[in-house]
């Protein structure tokens, strides 16, 4: 059945498909970074459309910090199976050996070692020359200036002072040996566009986005879900069962839930239109200081 999608979303979809195809045509070893969240779900859906009736000509890669919600891992494996695509999972074994965890090491060390370094290891291991990411420009100030095709040196460094200008749809995909490109097909989408599109196209997303009774503790103003026994409770903390959902998904001890009863897509979209906080507020790693995302990006974080 032909679905009804607004001209605005149809145009965004078409532009993203152009970007996806350009990578397949111009790079030798692309990969799609699949982080299991709603943006990854949309990106994977667009990839399946872009190359139809072929399958996307690249594997999915998940850099697993070992602290993802259990429901995310189950969803990940199912999504890859449904798409019929190869799923590569990389865990920074060195970080594991060193005992790095969000609980023991704090959010910034955990993110640096398990995500940023883990990602670099995986890209080097498989010699990928292009990696799709689901980042959007509306997420954070420094991302508003990110290119759709973002060049990385052989050491995975990003130089914000020296980015290639992007004109029309003429993406400069040239790289030297060892260098790579990060490609963001959802650059021009907003959070609301993503949800509108998920609704219109009936795209599966992790159930954690929908409100449900879940065990949580309140810490520094954030609601942290007790997903397994690895989260040590502070003195006096007793998990309560509340109706909560997540606007963004990361490592569970670093991702705050919001109180909500929005249990389906129209309710989530309705809640968003009424909302007065931006989605990254739920991410504890961004709170250190306002320029922190840019610092992470220079080091190779997505």
Partner 1 sequence: MLEAVQTDPPLLKQMSALPTLRLLTCGSVDDGKSTLIGRLLYEQSLILDDQLAALERDSRRHGTDGDNIDFALLVDGLEAEREQGITIDVAYRYVSTPRRSFIIADTPGHEQYTRNMATGASGADLAILLVDARKGLLTQTCRHAAIVSLTGIRHVVLAVNKIDLTGFDREGFDKIVAAFKSFAAALDFKTIMPIPVSARHGDNISAKSANTPWYSGPALLDYLETIDVTEDGGGRPFRFAVQWVNRPHLDFRGFSGTIASGTIRPGDEIIVAGSGRSSRIARIVTADGDLASATAGDSVTLTLEDELDIARGDILCEPKNRPEVSDQFAAHLIWMSGDKLLPRRSYLMKAGTRTVPATVTELRHRLDVNTLGELPAKTLSLNEVGFCNIATTAPIAFDPYKENHTTGAFILIDRMTNETAAAGMIAYGLRRAANIHLQGLSVGKQDRSRIKHHKPAVVWFTGLSGSGKSTIANLVETRLYAHGVHTILLDGDNIRHGLNKDLGFTELDRVENIRRIGEVAKLMTEAGLIVLCSFISPFRAERAMVRDLVGKDEFIEIFVDTPLAECIARDPKGLYKKAMAGEIENFTGITQSYEPPEAPEIIVARNTQTAEQAAAQIVALLTARGLIDRIEDLADDWSI
> Of 29, 48, 87, 203, which lies in the binding site for partner 1, with binding defined by CB under 8 A?
48
Work out whether 240 is an interface residue with partner 1 (CB under 8 A).
no
211 sits in the region (left: phi over 0; alpha: psi -120 to 50; else beta) called: beta
C-alpha to C-alpha distance for 276 and 43, rounded to whole angstroms? 26
Tokens standing for residue 9: 């979303």
Q: Which is nearer to partner 1, 267 or 299 (CB)?
A: 267
Ranges within 124-183 binding partner 1 (CB under 8 A): 137-138, 141-145, 160-161, 163-170, 172, 174-176
CB of 38 to partner 1, least distance (A): 17
Work out whether 192 is an interface residue with partner 1 (CB under 8 A).
yes
C-alpha to C-alpha distance for 108 and 285, rounded to whole angstroms? 6
Cα–Cα distances in Å, from 214 out to 211, 218, 226?
9, 13, 8
Work out whether 299 is an interface residue with partner 1 (CB under 8 A).
no
Work out whether 29 is an interface residue with partner 1 (CB under 8 A).
no
Ranges within 264-293 binding partner 1 (CB under 8 A): 266-267, 269-271, 274-278, 281, 290-291
Q: Which range in 50-58, 77-85, 93-101, 247-255 contacts partner 1 by CB under 8 A?
A: 50-58
CB of 136 to partner 1, least distance (A): 9
Q: Return the biggest CA–CA distance within the chain.
A: 58
Q: Which is nearer to partner 1, 33 or 262 (CB)?
A: 262
The answer to whether 298 touches 262, Cβ cutoff 8 Å, is no
Strand partners, 255: 283
The answer to whether 201 touches 188, Cβ cutoff 8 Å, is no
> Of 254, 294, 301, 302, which lies in the binding site for partner 1, with binding defined by CB under 8 A?
294
169: Cβ contacts below 8 Å, ≥ 6 apart = 15, 18
Bond before 53 cis per omega within 30 degrees: yes
Work out whether 24 is an interface residue with partner 1 (CB under 8 A).
yes
Q: What's the half-sphere exposure (Cβ side, CA atoms, 13 Å) at 130?
A: 25
Q: Residues in the site for partner 1, rule: CB under 8 A?
A: 2-3, 6-9, 11, 13-15, 17-18, 21-22, 24-25, 48-55, 137-138, 141-145, 160-161, 163-170, 172, 174-176, 187-188, 190, 192, 196, 243, 259-262, 266-267, 269-271, 274-278, 281, 290-291, 294
């Amino acid at each position: 059945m032909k679905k009804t999608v607004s001209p605005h979303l149809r145009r965004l979809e078409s532009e993203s498909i152009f970007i996806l195809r350009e990578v397949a045509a111009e790079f030798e070893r692309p990969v799609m970074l699949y982080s299991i969240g709603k943006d990854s779900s949309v990106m994977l859906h667009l990839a399946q459309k872009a190359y139809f009736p072929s399958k996307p000509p690249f594997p999915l890669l998940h850099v697993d910090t070992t602290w993802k919600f259990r429901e995310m891992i189950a969803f990940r494996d199912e999504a890859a199976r449904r798409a019929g695509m190869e799923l590569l999972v990389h865990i920074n074994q060195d970080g594991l050996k060193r005992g790095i965890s969000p609980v023991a090491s704090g959010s910034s060390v955990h993110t640096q070692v398990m995500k940023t370094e883990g990602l670099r290891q995986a890209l080097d291991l498989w010699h990928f020359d292009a990696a799709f990411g689901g980042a959007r420009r509306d997420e954070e100030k420094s991302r508003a200036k990110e290119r759709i095709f973002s060049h990385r040196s052989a050491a995975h460094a990003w130089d914000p002072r020296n980015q290639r200008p992007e004109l029309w749809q003429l993406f400069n995909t040239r790289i030297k040996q060892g260098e790579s490109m990060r490609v963001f097909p959802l650059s021009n989408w907003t959070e609301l566009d993503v949800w509108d599109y998920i609704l219109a196209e009936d795209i599966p997303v992790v159930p954690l986005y929908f409100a449900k009774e879940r065990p949580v503790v309140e810490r520094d103003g954030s609601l942290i879900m007790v997903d397994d026994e690895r989260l040590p409770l502070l003195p006096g903390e007793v998990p309560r069962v509340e109706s909560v959902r997540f606007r963004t998904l990361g490592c569970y001890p670093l991702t705050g839930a919001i109180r909500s009863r929005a249990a389906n897509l129209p309710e989530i979209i309705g809640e968003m239109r009424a909302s007065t906080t931006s989605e990254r507020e739920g991410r504890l790693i961004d709170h250190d200081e306002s320029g922190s995302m840019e610092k992470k990006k220079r080091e190779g974080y997505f």
